[in-house]
Structure 1
Amino acid sequence: MSARAEPLRTPQPLNLPVLYIGVVALLIAGLQPVVLGGLVEAGRLSVSGIGPAATVELLALGLACGGSAALLRPTALRTKLALAAVAHALCNLATLWVADGALIGVRAATGLFAGVMLWSTVGMISRSARPERQAGVFVTVQTLAQLLLAAVLPRTVMAAWGVDGALVALAAISVTAAGAALGAPRGYAPLPRPEGRGGGFSPLAWAGLAAVFLYMAFIVAIWVYLEPLAAAAGLPPARAHDAVAAALAMQVLGGLVATVAGDRLPAGPVLIGAGVINLGLVAALSAHPAGPAFIGLVAVFGFLWLFVLPFHTVLLIAIDPSRRAAMQLGAAQLLGSSAGPLAASLLVGDTDAGGAMRLAAACLVLALTLIVGVTAVMARRTVVPA
Structure 2
Amino acid sequence: MSEAAGALRAPQPLNLPVLYIGVVALLIAGLQPVVLGGLAEAGRLSASGIGLAATAELLALGVACGVCAAVLKPTGLRAKLALACMGHALCNVASLWVADSALIGLRGVTGLFAGAMLWSTVGMIARSARPERQAGIFVTVQTLAQLLLAAVLPRTVMTSWGVDGALLTLAAISVTAAAAAFAAPPAFAPLPRAETGGGRLSALAWAGLAAVFLYLAFIVAIWVYLEPLAATVGLSSVQAHDAVAAALAMQVVGGLAATVAGARLKASHVLIGAGVINLGLVTALSAHPSGPLFLGLVAAFGFLWLFVLPFHTVLLIAIDPSRRAAMQLGAAQLLGSSAGPLAASLVVGDSDIGGAMKFAAACLIAALALIVAVLAVMARRGPVAETP
Could you tell me the TM-score, scaled by structure 2's length? Answer: 0.97
For residues 351 and 95 of structure 1, the distance between their equivalents in structure 2, rounded to whole angstroms, comes to 34
1:156, distance to aligned residue in structure 2 (A): 0.2
Residues 248 and 302, structure 1, Cα contact 8 Å, conserved in 2: yes
For residues 178 and 361 of structure 2, the distance between their equivalents in structure 1, rounded to whole angstroms, comes to 41
Residues 5 and 193, structure 1, Cα contact 8 Å, conserved in 2: no
Code of the residue aligned with 2:350 in structure 1: it is: D
What pairs with 1:220-231 in structure 2 (closer than 5 Å)?
220-231=220-231
Residues 5 and 195, structure 1, Cα contact 8 Å, conserved in 2: no
Tell me the alpha carbon deviations over residues 280-335 of structure 1, each in whole angstroms, 9 at most, x when there is no partner. 00000001111111010000000000000000000000000000000000000000
Specify the SS of the correspondent of 2:382. Answer: helix
What pairs with 1:283-294 in structure 2 (closer than 5 Å)?
283-294=283-294
Matched, 1:178 2:178: yes
For residues 234 and 28 of structure 1, the distance between their equivalents in structure 2, rounded to whole angstroms, comes to 31
> Structure 1 residues 315, 383: closer, same or farther in 2, change over 3 A?
closer
1:237, distance to aligned residue in structure 2 (A): 0.3
1:180, distance to aligned residue in structure 2 (A): 0.3
> Structure 1 residues 230, 190: closer, same or farther in 2, change over 3 A?
same
Code of the residue aligned with 1:202 in structure 2: it is: S
For residues 346 and 329 of structure 1, the distance between their equivalents in structure 2, rounded to whole angstroms, comes to 26
Specify the SS of the correspondent of 1:343. Answer: helix
Partner of 2:308: 308
| Number of residue equivalences | 382
Matched, 1:218 2:214: no
> Structure 1 residues 37, 192: closer, same or farther in 2, change over 3 A?
same
Specify the SS of the correspondent of 1:96. Answer: coil
Residues 6 and 193, structure 1, Cα contact 8 Å, conserved in 2: no
Tell me the alpha carbon deviations over residues 180-228 of structure 1, each in whole angstroms, 9 at most, x when there is no partner. 0010000000000011242211111000000000000000000000000
For residues 99 and 350 of structure 2, the distance between their equivalents in structure 1, rounded to whole angstroms, comes to 26
Partner of 1:328: 328
Specify the SS of the correspondent of 1:325. Answer: helix
Code of the residue aligned with 1:310 in structure 2: it is: P
Residues 74 and 188, structure 2, Cα contact 8 Å, conserved in 1: yes
Partner of 1:346: 346
For residues 6 and 133 of structure 1, the distance between their equivalents in structure 2, rounded to whole angstroms, comes to 16
1:231, distance to aligned residue in structure 2 (A): 0.3
Where does structure 2 lack aligned partners over 5 or more consecutive residues?
A: none
Specify the SS of the correspondent of 1:123. Answer: helix
For residues 98 and 353 of structure 2, the distance between their equivalents in structure 1, rounded to whole angstroms, comes to 32
Which range moves more in the overlay, 334-343 or 371-380?
A: 371-380
Which range moves more in the overlay, 197-206 or 249-258?
A: 197-206
Partner of 1:121: 121
> Structure 1 residues 177, 190: closer, same or farther in 2, change over 3 A?
same
Partner of 1:256: 256
For residues 93 and 180 of structure 2, the distance between their equivalents in structure 1, rounded to whole angstroms, comes to 20
1:379, distance to aligned residue in structure 2 (A): 1.7
Partner of 1:277: 277
1:5, distance to aligned residue in structure 2 (A): 10
Identity over aligned residues, as a percent? 81
1:353, distance to aligned residue in structure 2 (A): 1.2
For residues 34 and 350 of structure 1, the distance between their equivalents in structure 2, rounded to whole angstroms, comes to 24
1:160, distance to aligned residue in structure 2 (A): 0.8
CA RMSD in angstroms, aligned pairs only: 1.3
Question: 4+ residue runs of structure 1 moved beyond 3 angstroms?
Answer: none
Partner of 1:72: 72
Tell me the alpha carbon deviations over residues 331-362 of structure 1, each in whole angstroms, 9 at most, x when there is no partner. 00000000000000001122211111011000
